[in-house]
Structures are given as C-alpha cells and as structure tokens.
Amino acid sequence: MSWFLALPIAIPFVAAVAAFLARGYRVGRWISIVGALAHLLSAILLISVVSAEGILAGQMGTWPAPFGITLVADNLSAGMVGVTAVIGLAVAIYALADIDERLENLGYHALYNVLIAGVTGAFLTGDLFNLYVWFEVMLIASFGLLVLGGDREQIDGGIKYVALNLVSTVMFLTGVGLLYGQTGTLNMADLALATENVDQGLLTVIAMMFMVAFGVKAAVFPLFFWLPASYHTPAFSVSAVFAGLLTKVGVYSLIRMFTLVFDHDLGFTQPVLLWVAALTMITGVLGAASQTDFRKILSFHIVSQIGYMVLGLALLTPLAVAGAVFYLIHHIIVKANLFLIAGVADRIGGSTCLSKVGGLYASAPLLAALFLVPAFSLAGFPPLSGFWAKYLLVKASLDVGAWVIAGVALVVGLLTIYSMTKIWGAVFWTPHPEGREPSLKQLDPALRRAYLVSIGGLAGLTVLIGLVPQPLLTFSEVAAEQLLDPGAYIDAVLGEVR
C-alpha cells in the first residue's frame, strides 16, 4: 500500500538524477516532461485510492509508528499532491519555450524536479522532523532556481529570499526541538495525543514559534517581505512554480499543525490567525495597487490571497476549512497561470513594466482571452473557480457572524479587480508605447504550442472547476471533515499501536 505514497516522491527524484546526468545533451526538457507525466499519473492514483478508502498511511522501512517515518495521505495531502503534479506538468511544458540552453546546461531541470519532489514530500509526510527535511530540500532547490543564470537583480532578490527563509528555518527547527522536549515524539499523529499531557501554556508558546516559522513560508503579514522582493526576478517558469506552490506549502503546514497538534488553545490562536488573515489580505492588495510591474503586482496578490486561506483556518468551521482547501487548489492553478501569461507578454511585448508594453488585445487576442480567465477567477467572478472559493469563505464568515472579516474579504476582492483592470488596461488595451504590434505569430510554432498548451490547459481547468465545482467541493468538504476530527488520521497512522 505504501507504494502509492512513496511513488509521487520517488518519481521526481529519479527524473532529477536523470536530468542532471543528461544536462549537457538537451534532453533534460523531455526528462522533465516524462517525469511530470509519471508524477501526475501517480498523483491521480493516490487521489483515487484516498477517495475510495479514506486516509492512507504507510510506514517507511516498515518501522512501526511513531518510531519510523510515516507517510500519510488524507484528502488535503492527496489533493495538494494532485495540484502540484498538474502545475509540475504545465510548467515543464512551458519551460520548453521559456528556458534557454544556458539555463538548461546549468542544471535547471534537475533543480526543478528536486523542487517538485520537496513540495510533494512536504505534503505527504506525517513526521515533523521529516517535514523540516522536505522544507530544506524544497528551499535549497528554490535557492538554486531563483539565482540560476546570475543576473544582478536575481542576486539582489535572492539575498533577501535566502536571508529571511533561513531565519524561518531556524525558528522551525527550534520549535521542533522544544516540542520534542515537551512530548518526546515527532510523529504528528502521536503529537496530537501527546500534547494533551503537557503544560498548555508552554505549548502555546511553541505553537506561536511554528506560526511564525510557517508564516514566513506562507508569506503572511507581517512576514511576507521576501516575496515581492524576489519573485519578479527569476525566469518566468521559475516564478510561476514558486508562485503556485511554495507559499502554499507554508499554508498547508499551518493548516496541518493547527488542526492536528495545536488545537488546545483555540481562544488564543484563532483570533491571532484571524487578525493575520485580515491584515495579510489588506496589505497585499494595497501593495499590489501601488506597483507598476506585471510580475510585482502578481507577487503582492499572492500575499493578499494567502490571507483568504488563513481566514478559512482561523474560522475553523467545516465550511470555512473546506473553503480554505478549495481556495488552495483553485489559487495554485490560477496564480501559476498568471505568471505564465506574464512570461508570454514579456516575450512578445518586450517588457513586464506596465508602461513599456501594450497593444496585446489588438494583436494577440487569444492571449488576452486567456488572461481574462485566471484574472477574473482571481478576483472572484462567477462562474470561474475563484467565485466559488470566495463564496465559501464569505458564507462561512457570515455564518459565524464575522461581519467585519466578510466585509474585508469582499472589499479585497474588489481591489483585486482594480489591479487586474490596471494590468488589462496597460498591457492589453493601450497601444504599445513603441508602436509595435506584438503578436503570437512572431513566435516559432513550437514555442507557441508550448505556451498555449500550458496556459490553455490551466485556463481550461479553471473554467472546468468553475462550471462543475461539485466534485472539488465534495472533496474539500471531506478534507475539512478529516481535518476537524483528526481521530481517523490518528487511527490510520497509529492503528497498530493504539
């Protein structure tokens, strides 16, 4: 059984090794794509097993829990692995056009696959120290990808990204040490049981350390400054996969730890999370409003959207948590796609700076149409996926009488439309400042195909989720049920010893 759990982690590692060995021969791109396809297949297999049989746990090396490392997949983990695989494939296809030979020779494809493996591992592990290790795998690969090529801007953004993320790493590690000192275990399911018998005040202090550590990763207020400082500097494939996946690993870890382990003092932790959520939404969207670069606007919108997911966790009702899960999956697809589109606009229009590009609506109408799908979805227009995600969270806020936060969520949605119309106006509607007529037809047909397949595929998925939300909604509701009543999770992991 544990093969279902290990495969999605093992496949990208195999692809990474193969891509590294073949880095001088230009087949790395195909290794990435074949690896991503296999990864997607294994993820679909995992989701179907988890949907059919409930939470799946596997003890690595057949060491019984809580002594060995456990891999666990509930609906949340399996869903996140699935969406990681989708983004992995889309960006691997996009990289055919976006990543040039120089970056390939430097080992882009090896690092890319290690990153995917790290993200997948973080979603699947049931052991806290193992989670730390996956964070590091992901982090070191992202460091490499961020500065790959070594432009001066990349080095500058990279310094800030590295510096702040390393602080979060140390914080995480210290928290792990203190939690181990209190409970004597690092298995998450075992921790959920062990925390009942320790000093609750100390536990809250440790919980706050984890909140800060994961908060930096998730880019919440006031810990997000590394994100807009660095995400606009690397290659577009890289910023798309970062934008889609990296911050969501932080959100996932917050959701996992604060539903499973740190649910002892909800009267203290939930209001903190609620404030964090509100301030993250507001500062992110205001930051975006002040920017004049395509990718910088999108970077600040990542921050603002993270607030919605944290909001779902803060309210902690079944509907709110389901909304957060739905939001996570929807947002990864939409946000990665927007960065991919920014890459095409840069390629044919010559810049991502809003004042130096334009006219794409007239000369590249297909790209304009493809931009509208994720942009409107991000802002929450029906019938796209973002509408359902926002609807669930606003409804959940109103259900518990949290009028203010519901209002904040709606106003932030409105301001998101403002930013999206700013991009629309500058990049698509106004004529190009140099009088050029950038068109997709200038591109080599092979490049054009790679661009359109990846962007069109993700946009199609957004529309599909929007038109037929029920399967994903049901999936998220089951995920919320599992998160809010961790008994089944604990039984799945510790079944034999309990």
Partner 1 sequence: MEPLIAIAIWALVSASVWLMLSGTMLRYLFGLILISNAANLVIFTSGRLTEGAPPLIPGSESAPLTVVANALPQALVLTAIVIGFGLFAFALVLIFRAWTELKTLEHDEMRLAEPREDGK
Measured from the CB atom, the residue of 100 and 153 that comes closer to partner 1 is 153
| Residue 3 burial (10 A CB sphere; 0-12, 13-18, 19+) | exposed
CB of 325: closest distance to partner 1 in angstroms?
A: 30
Number of residues this chain uses to bind partner 1 (CB under 8 A): 38
207/194 Cα distance (integer angstroms)? 14
Q: Hey, what are 276's tokens? A: 């964090």
> What are residue 72's DSSP bridge partners?
57
69/44 Cα distance (integer angstroms)? 23
- Choose among 74, 2, 63: nearest CA to 490: 74
- Choose among 397, 404, 374: nearest CA to 387: 374
- Out of 157, 244, 312, 486, the only residue in the binding site for partner 1 (CB under 8 A) is 157
CB of 265: closest distance to partner 1 in angstroms?
A: 21
Over the window 163 to 182, marking each residue x when it contacts partner 1 by CB under 8 A and - when it does not, the resulting string is x--xx-xx--xx-xxx-xxx
Binding of residue 353 to partner 1 (CB under 8 A): no
CB of 7: closest distance to partner 1 in angstroms?
A: 24
Amino acid symbol at 428 = F
Q: Hey, what are 459's tokens? A: 């946009």
The DSSP letter of residue 434 is T
- Out of 52, 61, 62, 150, the only residue in the binding site for partner 1 (CB under 8 A) is 150
Measured from the CB atom, the residue of 27 and 167 that comes closer to partner 1 is 167
- Out of 158, 244, 438, 469, the only residue in the binding site for partner 1 (CB under 8 A) is 158
CB of 170: closest distance to partner 1 in angstroms?
A: 5
CB of 139: closest distance to partner 1 in angstroms?
A: 7
Q: Is 219 left (phi over 0), alpha (psi -120 to 50) or beta?
A: left
Sign of CA dihedral 335, 356, 420, 455: negative
> What are residue 56's DSSP bridge partners?
73
Binding of residue 233 to partner 1 (CB under 8 A): yes
CB of 252: closest distance to partner 1 in angstroms?
A: 21
Stretch that binds partner 1, among 230-238, 324-332, 345-353, 462-470 (CB under 8 A): 230-238
- Out of 14, 60, 159, 198, the only residue in the binding site for partner 1 (CB under 8 A) is 159
Measured from the CB atom, the residue of 187 and 237 that comes closer to partner 1 is 187
Helix (H) or strand (E) holding 70: strand 70-73
Measured from the CB atom, the residue of 262 and 381 that comes closer to partner 1 is 262
CB of 221: closest distance to partner 1 in angstroms?
A: 18
Furthest-apart CA atoms within the chain: distance in Å: 72
The DSSP letter of residue 125 is B
CB of 449: closest distance to partner 1 in angstroms?
A: 32
Q: Is 187 left (phi over 0), alpha (psi -120 to 50) or beta?
A: beta
Binding of residue 497 to partner 1 (CB under 8 A): no
CB of 153: closest distance to partner 1 in angstroms?
A: 5
Name which of residues 45 to 74 contact partner 1 (CB under 8 A).
Answer: none
Binding of residue 269 to partner 1 (CB under 8 A): no
> By 3-state DSSP, what share of the chain in percent is helix, strand and coil, each rounded to 5?
80, 5, 20
191/180 Cα distance (integer angstroms)? 9
Binding of residue 153 to partner 1 (CB under 8 A): yes
Q: Could you please report the per-residue DSSP string of 297-352?
A: HHHHHHHHHHHHHHHHHHH-SHHHHHHHHHHHHHHHHHHHHHHHHHHHHHHHHS-S
Over the window 106 to 145, marking each residue x when it contacts partner 1 by CB under 8 A and - when it does not, the resulting string is -----------------------x--xx--x--xx--xx-
CB of 156: closest distance to partner 1 in angstroms?
A: 4
Measured from the CB atom, the residue of 137 and 324 that comes closer to partner 1 is 137
Measured from the CB atom, the residue of 150 and 267 that comes closer to partner 1 is 150
Do 199 and 274 touch, CB atoms closer than 8 A?
no
The DSSP letter of residue 442 is G
CB of 381: closest distance to partner 1 in angstroms?
A: 31
Name the residues that contact partner 1, by CB under 8 A: 129, 132-133, 136, 139-140, 143-144, 147, 150, 152-160, 162-163, 166-167, 169-170, 173-174, 176-178, 180-182, 228-230, 232-233
